[in-house]
Chains A and B, each alone.
Chain A
Amino acid sequence: GENVEQHPSTLSVQEGDSAVIKCTYSDSASNYFPWYKQELGKGPQLIIDIRSNVGEKKDQRIAVTLNKTAKHFSLHITETQPEDSAVYFCAPYTVYNFNKFYFGSGTKLNVKP
Chain B
Amino acid sequence: EAQVTQNPRYLITVTGKKLTVTCSQNMNHEYMSWYRQDPGLGLRQIYYSMNVEVTDKGDVPEGYKVSRKEKRNFPLILESPSPNQTSLYFCASSLNGYEQYFGPGTRLTVT
Contacts and interface: CB of A to CB of B under 8 A. Distances in A.
B104 A106 contact: no
B2 interface: no
B67 interface: no
Interface residues of A, number: 26
A25 interface: no
A105 B40 contact: yes
Contacts of B92: 43
Interface string B68-111: 00000000000000000000001010100111111111000000
A95 B99 CA distance: 12
Interface residues of B, number: 27
Nearest to A1: B59
A21 to B, nearest CB: 13
Contacts of B97: 99
Contact of A100 (B45, B90, B102, B103): B45
Interface of B: 4, 31, 33, 35, 40-45, 48, 50, 56, 58-59, 90, 92, 94, 97-105
Interface of A: 1, 4, 6, 32, 34, 36, 41-46, 49, 89, 91, 93, 95, 98-106
